[in-house]
Amino acid sequence: MTNEESLDFEDFQWDARVESHVRGRGLTPTVLHAVVTGSPKAFPNKESGRGTHMVIGPDRRSRFWTIILLQARNGRWRPITGWPSKAKEIALYKET
């Protein structure tokens, strides 16, 4: 998956279940905001995945995150899951 997309991440839709899930992985709304307003790179997610896009980028501490988002019909984005990026995800970010 190397076809990076340019997307506008402005409006996010959170619910208690999703927020509880991603917090368990260390992803908070603050980290998500830092990643998407920094220098993220977005890619189409795997067809078998629940989200539509995979976003990779650093937070304010330069720690890389991989975040799966679902683009809703109303234009809002819904975080599905996220985790500290693995080496192969950081390599994908750096090579594109």
Express each pLDDT in 62-74 by its tens digit: 999 999 999 887 8
Give a yes or no: residue 96 inside a domain: no
Are β-strands 53-58 and 41-44 bridged in parallel, bridged antiparallel, or unpaired? Answer: antiparallel
User: Whose structure tokens read 């208690």?
Assistant: 16
Residue 96 has pLDDT above 60, yes or no: yes
User: What is the rounded CA–CA span in Å between residue 78 and residue 32?
Assistant: 11
The predicted model scores a pTM of 0.84
Give a yes or no: residue 95 inside a domain: no
Give a yes or no: residue 42 inside a domain: yes
CB 72 within 8 A of CB 92: no
Number of independent structural domains in the chain:
1
Domain extent, residue 42, equals 16-88
Question: In the prediction, which pLDDT does 18 show?
Answer: 78
Give a yes or no: residue 6 inside a domain: no
CB 42 within 8 A of CB 79: no
Which SS3 state, helix, strand or coil, does residue 47 take?
coil
Tokens read off for 18: 């999703």
